[in-house]
Amino acid sequence: MRLLGLAAALSLIAAAPALAAPQTFSDLLAKPRGAATAHIAYGAEPEQFGDLWLPEGPGQHPVVVLIHGGCWLAEYPSVELMAYMAKDLQGRGYAVWNLAYRRLGEPGGGYPGTYNDVAAGLDRLRELAPEHHLDLKRVVVAGHSAGGHLTTWAAGRARLPKASPLRVAKPLKIRGAVSLAGINDLAAYRATGPDACGGPGTIDRLTAGAALPDYADTSPPAFLPIKVPLAVISGQMDPIVPPAFGVDFAARAKAAGDRVEEITIPEAGHFELIDPASAAWPQVLAVIDAMAGR
Protein backbone atom coordinates (compact mmCIF):
# COMPACT_ATOMS: atom_id res chain seq x y z
CA MET A 1 0.00 0.00 0.00
CA ARG A 2 1.03 3.59 -0.56
CA LEU A 3 0.06 4.73 2.94
CA LEU A 4 3.56 5.30 4.19
CA GLY A 5 2.40 8.53 5.76
CA LEU A 6 -0.26 6.89 7.94
CA ALA A 7 1.97 6.45 10.98
CA ALA A 8 3.13 10.04 10.71
CA ALA A 9 -0.45 11.27 10.42
CA LEU A 10 -1.49 9.31 13.49
CA SER A 11 1.44 10.83 15.36
CA LEU A 12 0.22 14.28 14.36
CA ILE A 13 -3.22 13.42 15.68
CA ALA A 14 -1.71 12.41 19.01
CA ALA A 15 0.49 15.49 19.23
CA ALA A 16 -2.00 18.11 18.01
CA PRO A 17 -3.99 20.26 20.43
CA ALA A 18 -6.91 18.15 21.58
CA LEU A 19 -10.44 19.05 20.65
CA ALA A 20 -12.75 19.35 23.62
CA ALA A 21 -14.54 16.41 22.03
CA PRO A 22 -14.62 15.61 18.31
CA GLN A 23 -18.19 15.74 17.10
CA THR A 24 -20.14 12.52 16.57
CA PHE A 25 -23.03 12.04 14.20
CA SER A 26 -25.33 11.97 17.23
CA ASP A 27 -24.02 15.41 18.26
CA LEU A 28 -24.69 16.70 14.76
CA LEU A 29 -28.19 15.23 14.51
CA ALA A 30 -29.15 16.68 17.89
CA LYS A 31 -29.07 20.14 16.29
CA PRO A 32 -32.22 21.52 14.61
CA ARG A 33 -32.25 21.25 10.83
CA GLY A 34 -34.39 22.66 8.05
CA ALA A 35 -36.74 20.99 5.62
CA ALA A 36 -36.15 20.39 1.93
CA THR A 37 -38.25 22.02 -0.77
CA ALA A 38 -39.22 18.68 -2.34
CA HIS A 39 -38.73 14.95 -1.82
CA ILE A 40 -38.32 13.35 -5.25
CA ALA A 41 -37.97 9.69 -6.22
CA TYR A 42 -35.50 8.68 -8.92
CA GLY A 43 -36.46 4.98 -8.70
CA ALA A 44 -39.07 2.65 -7.27
CA GLU A 45 -37.22 1.52 -4.12
CA PRO A 46 -37.63 3.36 -0.79
CA GLU A 47 -34.06 4.68 -0.70
CA GLN A 48 -34.02 5.80 -4.33
CA PHE A 49 -34.82 9.45 -3.72
CA GLY A 50 -33.26 12.84 -3.34
CA ASP A 51 -34.23 15.85 -1.26
CA LEU A 52 -34.19 18.98 -3.39
CA TRP A 53 -33.46 22.29 -1.68
CA LEU A 54 -34.17 25.32 -3.87
CA PRO A 55 -32.94 28.84 -3.17
CA GLU A 56 -34.98 31.99 -3.61
CA GLY A 57 -34.91 33.68 -6.97
CA PRO A 58 -35.65 32.63 -10.54
CA GLY A 59 -32.40 30.77 -11.36
CA GLN A 60 -30.51 29.42 -13.23
CA HIS A 61 -29.23 27.93 -9.98
CA PRO A 62 -25.80 26.35 -9.57
CA VAL A 63 -26.19 22.86 -8.13
CA VAL A 64 -24.46 21.04 -5.31
CA VAL A 65 -25.15 17.31 -5.12
CA LEU A 66 -24.60 15.90 -1.63
CA ILE A 67 -23.82 12.22 -0.99
CA HIS A 68 -24.03 11.17 2.64
CA GLY A 69 -21.73 8.75 4.43
CA GLY A 70 -22.37 6.13 7.07
CA CYS A 71 -20.02 3.32 6.03
CA TRP A 72 -22.34 2.26 3.18
CA LEU A 73 -24.44 0.64 5.95
CA ALA A 74 -28.21 0.95 6.35
CA GLU A 75 -27.91 0.98 10.14
CA TYR A 76 -26.57 4.54 10.07
CA PRO A 77 -28.40 7.81 9.28
CA SER A 78 -29.03 8.85 5.69
CA VAL A 79 -29.70 12.22 4.04
CA GLU A 80 -30.32 13.91 7.39
CA LEU A 81 -26.55 13.93 7.92
CA MET A 82 -26.16 16.34 5.00
CA ALA A 83 -29.26 18.44 5.70
CA TYR A 84 -27.19 21.01 7.60
CA MET A 85 -24.94 21.58 4.61
CA ALA A 86 -27.99 21.63 2.34
CA LYS A 87 -29.71 24.36 4.35
CA ASP A 88 -26.60 26.52 4.46
CA LEU A 89 -25.88 26.14 0.75
CA GLN A 90 -29.51 26.83 -0.12
CA GLY A 91 -29.24 30.13 1.73
CA ARG A 92 -26.21 31.00 -0.39
CA GLY A 93 -28.07 30.61 -3.68
CA TYR A 94 -27.36 26.97 -4.49
CA ALA A 95 -29.88 24.34 -5.47
CA VAL A 96 -28.97 21.25 -3.46
CA TRP A 97 -29.78 17.67 -4.46
CA ASN A 98 -29.25 15.55 -1.33
CA LEU A 99 -29.12 11.94 -2.50
CA ALA A 100 -30.15 8.77 -0.74
CA TYR A 101 -29.15 5.37 -2.11
CA ARG A 102 -29.48 1.68 -1.23
CA ARG A 103 -26.93 0.51 1.31
CA LEU A 104 -25.65 -2.72 2.79
CA GLY A 105 -28.44 -4.28 4.84
CA GLU A 106 -31.14 -3.13 2.40
CA PRO A 107 -32.43 -5.10 -0.61
CA GLY A 108 -30.27 -4.18 -3.59
CA GLY A 109 -27.53 -2.52 -1.52
CA GLY A 110 -23.89 -3.19 -2.39
CA TYR A 111 -22.74 -4.07 -5.89
CA PRO A 112 -24.15 -3.03 -8.26
CA GLY A 113 -27.13 -1.35 -6.57
CA THR A 114 -25.34 1.27 -4.45
CA TYR A 115 -23.30 2.44 -7.41
CA ASN A 116 -26.20 2.36 -9.84
CA ASP A 117 -28.32 4.41 -7.46
CA VAL A 118 -25.74 7.18 -7.18
CA ALA A 119 -25.42 7.23 -10.96
CA ALA A 120 -29.18 7.28 -11.51
CA GLY A 121 -29.65 9.99 -8.90
CA LEU A 122 -27.08 12.20 -10.56
CA ASP A 123 -28.46 11.67 -14.04
CA ARG A 124 -31.99 12.46 -12.82
CA LEU A 125 -30.87 16.10 -12.64
CA ARG A 126 -31.32 16.30 -16.42
CA GLU A 127 -35.07 15.77 -15.94
CA LEU A 128 -35.30 18.10 -12.95
CA ALA A 129 -33.35 20.98 -14.49
CA PRO A 130 -36.01 22.60 -16.71
CA GLU A 131 -38.75 22.73 -14.06
CA HIS A 132 -36.48 23.85 -11.23
CA HIS A 133 -34.18 26.16 -13.22
CA LEU A 134 -30.98 24.25 -12.51
CA ASP A 135 -27.73 25.20 -14.20
CA LEU A 136 -26.27 21.88 -15.28
CA LYS A 137 -23.07 23.59 -16.39
CA ARG A 138 -22.34 24.32 -12.73
CA VAL A 139 -22.82 21.01 -10.90
CA VAL A 140 -20.50 20.23 -8.01
CA VAL A 141 -20.70 16.92 -6.13
CA ALA A 142 -19.68 16.82 -2.47
CA GLY A 143 -19.72 13.64 -0.41
CA HIS A 144 -18.69 12.69 3.10
CA SER A 145 -16.85 9.57 4.30
CA ALA A 146 -18.39 6.62 2.38
CA GLY A 147 -20.15 9.31 0.36
CA GLY A 148 -16.73 10.80 -0.39
CA HIS A 149 -15.79 7.50 -2.01
CA LEU A 150 -19.02 7.55 -4.03
CA THR A 151 -18.33 11.17 -5.00
CA THR A 152 -14.93 10.46 -6.51
CA TRP A 153 -16.36 7.32 -8.10
CA ALA A 154 -19.17 9.38 -9.63
CA ALA A 155 -16.70 11.97 -10.90
CA GLY A 156 -14.84 9.22 -12.74
CA ARG A 157 -17.81 7.38 -14.25
CA ALA A 158 -16.71 8.23 -17.77
CA ARG A 159 -13.41 6.47 -16.99
CA LEU A 160 -14.93 3.15 -15.93
CA PRO A 161 -13.73 0.13 -17.95
CA LYS A 162 -15.89 -0.63 -20.96
CA ALA A 163 -16.51 -4.11 -19.58
CA SER A 164 -18.08 -2.74 -16.40
CA PRO A 165 -21.86 -3.07 -16.02
CA LEU A 166 -21.71 0.19 -14.04
CA ARG A 167 -20.65 2.15 -17.10
CA VAL A 168 -23.25 4.30 -18.88
CA ALA A 169 -22.93 5.98 -22.24
CA LYS A 170 -23.39 9.63 -21.26
CA PRO A 171 -22.99 10.29 -17.54
CA LEU A 172 -23.94 13.75 -16.36
CA LYS A 173 -20.93 16.02 -16.59
CA ILE A 174 -19.92 17.64 -13.34
CA ARG A 175 -17.76 20.68 -12.77
CA GLY A 176 -15.92 19.38 -9.72
CA ALA A 177 -15.95 16.83 -6.91
CA VAL A 178 -15.29 17.44 -3.22
CA SER A 179 -14.43 14.43 -1.07
CA LEU A 180 -14.89 15.25 2.62
CA ALA A 181 -13.11 12.71 4.83
CA GLY A 182 -13.66 10.35 1.92
CA ILE A 183 -12.73 6.68 1.81
CA ASN A 184 -11.47 7.18 -1.72
CA ASP A 185 -9.26 4.09 -1.92
CA LEU A 186 -11.13 0.93 -0.93
CA ALA A 187 -8.08 -1.33 -1.05
CA ALA A 188 -6.01 0.97 1.17
CA TYR A 189 -8.79 1.44 3.70
CA ARG A 190 -9.46 -2.29 3.78
CA ALA A 191 -5.77 -2.98 4.43
CA THR A 192 -4.92 -0.38 7.08
CA GLY A 193 -8.01 1.65 7.93
CA PRO A 194 -9.56 1.82 11.39
CA ASP A 195 -12.35 -0.61 12.19
CA ALA A 196 -14.91 2.19 12.57
CA CYS A 197 -16.86 0.99 9.52
CA GLY A 198 -16.66 -2.68 10.42
CA GLY A 199 -13.19 -3.42 9.10
CA PRO A 200 -12.35 -5.32 5.90
CA GLY A 201 -15.67 -7.16 5.98
CA THR A 202 -17.60 -4.03 5.05
CA ILE A 203 -15.44 -3.38 1.99
CA ASP A 204 -15.83 -7.02 1.00
CA ARG A 205 -19.62 -6.79 1.29
CA LEU A 206 -19.69 -3.57 -0.72
CA THR A 207 -17.77 -5.11 -3.60
CA ALA A 208 -19.08 -8.69 -3.40
CA GLY A 209 -20.16 -9.89 -6.81
CA ALA A 210 -18.22 -7.18 -8.67
CA ALA A 211 -17.93 -7.99 -12.35
CA LEU A 212 -14.27 -6.96 -12.54
CA PRO A 213 -11.37 -7.90 -10.23
CA ASP A 214 -9.05 -5.66 -8.23
CA TYR A 215 -11.64 -2.92 -7.57
CA ALA A 216 -11.43 -2.03 -11.27
CA ASP A 217 -14.86 -0.38 -11.35
CA THR A 218 -15.53 0.19 -7.65
CA SER A 219 -12.58 2.19 -6.31
CA PRO A 220 -11.35 5.45 -7.88
CA PRO A 221 -7.60 4.73 -7.88
CA ALA A 222 -8.25 1.93 -10.36
CA PHE A 223 -9.43 4.35 -13.05
CA LEU A 224 -7.26 7.40 -12.49
CA PRO A 225 -7.01 9.99 -13.89
CA ILE A 226 -10.56 11.05 -13.03
CA LYS A 227 -10.28 14.05 -15.40
CA VAL A 228 -12.58 16.18 -13.24
CA PRO A 229 -11.21 18.78 -10.78
CA LEU A 230 -11.01 17.22 -7.33
CA ALA A 231 -10.73 18.49 -3.79
CA VAL A 232 -9.79 16.10 -1.01
CA ILE A 233 -10.48 17.57 2.43
CA SER A 234 -9.60 15.86 5.72
CA GLY A 235 -9.80 16.69 9.38
CA GLN A 236 -6.48 16.45 11.19
CA MET A 237 -8.17 14.88 14.21
CA ASP A 238 -10.33 12.40 12.28
CA PRO A 239 -10.19 8.93 13.89
CA ILE A 240 -12.51 7.34 11.29
CA VAL A 241 -10.68 8.35 8.09
CA PRO A 242 -7.28 9.64 9.21
CA PRO A 243 -5.90 12.37 6.94
CA ALA A 244 -3.13 10.20 5.53
CA PHE A 245 -5.72 8.45 3.40
CA GLY A 246 -6.72 11.74 1.79
CA VAL A 247 -3.13 12.87 1.37
CA ASP A 248 -2.18 9.60 -0.29
CA PHE A 249 -5.12 9.53 -2.69
CA ALA A 250 -4.58 13.16 -3.66
CA ALA A 251 -0.92 12.46 -4.40
CA ARG A 252 -1.82 9.50 -6.58
CA ALA A 253 -4.44 11.50 -8.47
CA LYS A 254 -1.97 14.34 -9.05
CA ALA A 255 0.67 11.92 -10.26
CA ALA A 256 -1.87 10.55 -12.75
CA GLY A 257 -2.43 14.05 -14.11
CA ASP A 258 -5.55 15.14 -12.25
CA ARG A 259 -6.11 18.64 -10.94
CA VAL A 260 -6.38 18.12 -7.19
CA GLU A 261 -6.53 20.37 -4.14
CA GLU A 262 -5.64 18.59 -0.91
CA ILE A 263 -6.54 20.26 2.40
CA THR A 264 -6.08 18.99 5.92
CA ILE A 265 -7.92 21.18 8.42
CA PRO A 266 -6.30 21.47 11.87
CA GLU A 267 -8.39 20.60 14.91
CA ALA A 268 -11.22 19.20 12.80
CA GLY A 269 -12.57 15.72 13.27
CA HIS A 270 -14.78 13.63 11.01
CA PHE A 271 -18.15 15.35 11.31
CA GLU A 272 -16.91 18.92 11.64
CA LEU A 273 -16.44 18.89 7.85
CA ILE A 274 -20.21 18.69 7.26
CA ASP A 275 -21.32 21.06 10.03
CA PRO A 276 -21.80 24.68 8.89
CA ALA A 277 -21.50 25.77 12.53
CA SER A 278 -17.94 24.42 12.77
CA ALA A 279 -14.68 26.31 12.33
CA ALA A 280 -13.89 24.00 9.39
CA TRP A 281 -16.91 25.03 7.33
CA PRO A 282 -15.54 28.26 5.77
CA GLN A 283 -12.73 26.28 4.14
CA VAL A 284 -15.16 23.68 2.81
CA LEU A 285 -17.48 26.38 1.52
CA ALA A 286 -14.64 28.23 -0.19
CA VAL A 287 -13.73 25.10 -2.12
CA ILE A 288 -17.33 24.52 -3.23
CA ASP A 289 -17.68 28.16 -4.28
CA ALA A 290 -14.47 28.02 -6.30
CA MET A 291 -15.54 24.84 -8.07
CA ALA A 292 -18.92 26.34 -8.89
CA GLY A 293 -17.20 29.41 -10.36
CA ARG A 294 -18.44 31.86 -7.76
What tens digit of pLDDT does each residue of 206-217 get?
A: 999 999 999 999
pLDDT band for 59, please (50, 70, 90 cuts): confident
Report pTM. Answer: 0.93
Buried/exposed code over 24-56 (b: 16+ C-beta within 10 A; e: otherwise): ebeebeeeeeeebbeebebbebebbbbbbbbbe
Q: How far separated are the first and last CA of the chain, in Å rounded?
A: 38
pLDDT at 2: 37
pLDDT at 20: 60
Q: Which domains does the chain have, with CATH numbers?
A: 6-291 (3.40.50.1820)
What tens digit of pLDDT does each residue of 89-108 get?
A: 999 999 999 999 999 999 99
Average pLDDT of the residues in 215-227: 98
By the 10 Å C-beta count (0-12 exposed, 13-18 middle, 19+ buried), 63 is classed as: buried
Listed in order, strand segments (DSSP E) in 42-133 are 49-53, 61-67, 95-99
pLDDT band for 73, please (50, 70, 90 cuts): very high
